[in-house]
């Protein structure tokens, strides 16, 4: 069995709560996702990634799992998951599902047992530690969502580690028994037909065994917005033992012909991306927040990202939006439709697997959600200066003039519909040649038509900013990619060739190319 499909693939992320509600409760579900798989197939995507739909108390909206093998009633039944996998495969779509193995819910049966005593069968399944002599936590580690990363448990009279919410205790993935249990979870879903896993914060799987303090960042000019940003995270993540577990997982995946993509959150994201994919006993691919948190797309940003993958054995993945960050039309394009197309074209021109988040193909701006309607615990904790993850999770608009844009038949949804999204609904853009939706379809089709774009090498070329110039090469195919990332027209020398795809106002003449502001030209040479 082969995972060759992954190289150069376009993967569409579904955030089920906000994709399509089939039963009228205001929350998206698996049956709703099944109804709209045709839309994803029509885009030309190769696979879907489903964010968590497992049983959960929803403190972190599914990323706090209380049963890795169960489907939460909000989303449907296990039979619905089976139907979704079957239907996706009928449409030629691979299925990747989230696995959240860094931590579980505090309501998971494993943790309920673990916290009962220090000598029960699952006592060492989570990260427990004694207090310091003065009763304070074992070390200075800080949680991503604010506050210390340790919480006292009066039954065990110990602290437990949680890198995120108090309700998300960290699994002790150092423990072989925990590894065995997680591999059994993987086998459960592989046997049901999934084609791979997206591993949430994969480099958080293990911690420093000595529980050493993280050192402070000494170069800070002013206090950062979050306590964990005061520290260098040398000991609470990215430990070598994680790669030992990944090797075990890779052996299992290879037996099924399945794949894994890891999410990397680290101070050196590109380096760790590369390390975690460097070899046949590592992940098949990984992505980081390097581009997801970029505030301005410049030629140097792109070249830096690509340069760190030169000579790598692994395969990168890239995305501009997901459920955790500000949508890229707002973050990178100032909600300008023309620049939004340019950013989509750039994503699809990079060497690696491309991940598109639901609504990217519509050019949705980041949703506006009032404080009173916020659900995301991170957004609430850091309001008003947080990233506002709820704005990326508002309902997907399917029909401009329908109730709630046809996301749900309920009068409202778990998050409000941004009124600006109605005009960008799927039905409003379908068949409109100049729309973002039709552009995305054309751009994906162009990528699929070019072996050099899908799998070729990336060769950076010298060009004065704001021009980004590079070639994609594979065999005899050479594709010159020219991007004007600035507002003013520019001219650029170009070899003989013919234009294959363009964005904005461009012209190819003998000896050169004219690029209008925020435009791109792909030339076969």
pLDDT at 150 > cutoff 80: yes
pLDDT of residue 388: 79
pLDDT at 51 > cutoff 90: yes
pLDDT at 387 > cutoff 90: no
Element (H, E) at 459: strand 457-461
Whole-angstrom Cα distance, residue 40 to residue 481? 26
Model pLDDT for residues 326-342, shown as the tens digit of each residue:
999 999 999 999 999 99
| 8 Å CB contact between 129 and 140 | no
DSSP string, 385-425: SS--GGGGSSPPP--TTSGGGGS-SSSS-SSPPPGGGGGG-
Is 200 a catalytic site residue? yes
> Mean pLDDT over residues 222-244, rounded?
95
On whether the pTM is more than 0.75, the answer is yes
Q: What percent of the chain has pLDDT over 70?
A: 99
Tell me the pLDDT band of 510, cut-offs 50, 70 and 90.
confident
User: What backbone torsions phi and psi does residue 391 show, to the nearest 5 degrees?
Assistant: -65, -20
pLDDT at 169 > cutoff 80: yes
Least confident piece of the model among 204-218, 376-390, 488-502: 376-390
Class of domain 456-524: mainly beta
Whole-angstrom Cα distance, residue 379 to residue 513? 45
pLDDT at 175 > cutoff 70: yes
Catalytic residue among 21, 60, 167, 200: 200
pLDDT of residue 259: 98
User: 270 in helix, strand or coil?
Assistant: helix
Task: Work out the mean pLDDT of the chain and round it to a whole number.
Answer: 97
Query: Alpha carbon of 85 to those of 44, 332, 501, 507: distances in Å?
Result: 18, 34, 34, 45
Tell me the pLDDT band of 1, cut-offs 50, 70 and 90.
low
Query: Alpha carbon of 453 to those of 47, 120, 308, 398, 507: distances in Å?
Result: 18, 54, 18, 30, 21
pLDDT of residue 3: 84
Largest CA distance in the chain: 78
pLDDT of residue 194: 98
- Would you kindly state where each structural domain of the chain is located, as residue ranges? 4-104+176-445, 456-524
pLDDT at 240 > cutoff 70: yes
> Mean pLDDT over residues 101-106, rounded?
98
| 8 Å CB contact between 390 and 416 | no
Whole-angstrom Cα distance, residue 266 to residue 357? 22
pLDDT at 399 > cutoff 80: yes
Q: And the tokens for 246? A: 């990944």
Fold category of 4-104+176-445 in CATH: TIM Barrel (3.20.20)
Q: And the tokens for 286? A: 């990984």
Is 265 a catalytic site residue? yes
Catalytic residue among 21, 195, 265, 275: 265
Whole-angstrom Cα distance, residue 278 to residue 268? 16
């Amino acid at each position: 069995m082969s995972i060759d499909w992954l190289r150069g693939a376009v993967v569409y992320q579904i955030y089920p709560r906000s994709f399509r509600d089939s039963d009228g409760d205001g929350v998206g579900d698996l049956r709703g996702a099944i109804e709209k798989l045709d839309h994803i197939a029509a885009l030309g995507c190769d696979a879907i990634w489903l964010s968590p739909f497992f049983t959960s108390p929803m403190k972190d909206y599914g990323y706090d799992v209380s049963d890795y093998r169960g489907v939460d009633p909000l989303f449907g039944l296990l039979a619905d998951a089976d139907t979704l996998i079957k239907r996706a495969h009928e449409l030629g779509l691979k299925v990747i599902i989230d696995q959240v193995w860094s931590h579980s819910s505090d309501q998971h049966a494993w943790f309920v047992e673990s916290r009962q005593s220090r000598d029960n069968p699952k006592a060492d399944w989570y990260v427990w530690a004694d207090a310091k002599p003065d009763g304070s936590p074992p070390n200075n580690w800080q949680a991503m969502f604010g506050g210390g990363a340790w919480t006292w448990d009066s039954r065990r009279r110990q602290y437990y580690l949680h890198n995120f919410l108090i309700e998300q205790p960290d699994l002790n993935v150092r423990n072989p028994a925990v590894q065995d249990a997680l591999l059994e979870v993987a086998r459960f879903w592989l046997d049901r037909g999934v084609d791979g896993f997206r591993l949430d914060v994969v480099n958080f799987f293990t911690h420093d065994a000595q529980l050493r303090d993280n050192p402070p960042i000494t170069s800070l000019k002013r206090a950062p917005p979050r306590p964990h940003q005061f520290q260098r995270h040398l000991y609470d993540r990215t430990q070598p033992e994680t790669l030992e577990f990944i090797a075990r997982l890779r052996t299992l995946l290879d037996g099924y012909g399945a794949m894994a993509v890891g999410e990397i959150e680290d101070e050196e994201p590109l380096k760790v991306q590369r390390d975690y994919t460097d070899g046949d006993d590592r992940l098949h691919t990984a992505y980081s927040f390097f581009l997801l948190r970029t505030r301005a797309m410049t030629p140097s940003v792109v070249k830096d990202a690509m340069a760190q993958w030169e000579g790598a054995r692994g395969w990168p993945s890239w995305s501009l939006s997901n459920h955790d960050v500000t949508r890229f039309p707002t973050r990178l394009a100032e909600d300008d439709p023309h620049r939004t197309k340019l950013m989509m074209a750039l994503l699809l021109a990079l060497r690696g697997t491309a991940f598109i988040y639901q609504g990217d193909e519509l050019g949705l701006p980041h949703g506006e959600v009032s404080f009173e309607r916020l659900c995301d615990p991170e957004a609430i904790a850091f309001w008003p200066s947080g990233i506002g993850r709820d704005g990326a999770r508002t309902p997907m608009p399917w029909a401009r003039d329908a109730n709630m844009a046809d996301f749900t038949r309920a009068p409202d949804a778990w998050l409000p519909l941004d009124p600006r999204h109605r005009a960008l609904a799927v039905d409003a853009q379908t068949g409109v040649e100049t729309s973002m939706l039709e552009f995305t379809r054309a751009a994906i089709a162009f990528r699929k038509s070019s072996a050099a774009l899908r799998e070729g090498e990336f060769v950076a070329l010298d060009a004065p900013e704001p021009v980004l110039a590079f070639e994609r090469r594979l065999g005899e195919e050479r594709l010159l990619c020219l991007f004007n990332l600035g507002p003013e027209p520019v001219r650029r020398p170009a070899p003989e060739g013919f234009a294959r795809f363009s964005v904005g106002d461009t012209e190819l003449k003998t000896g050169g190319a004219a690029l209008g502001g925020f435009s791109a030209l792909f030339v076969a040479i």
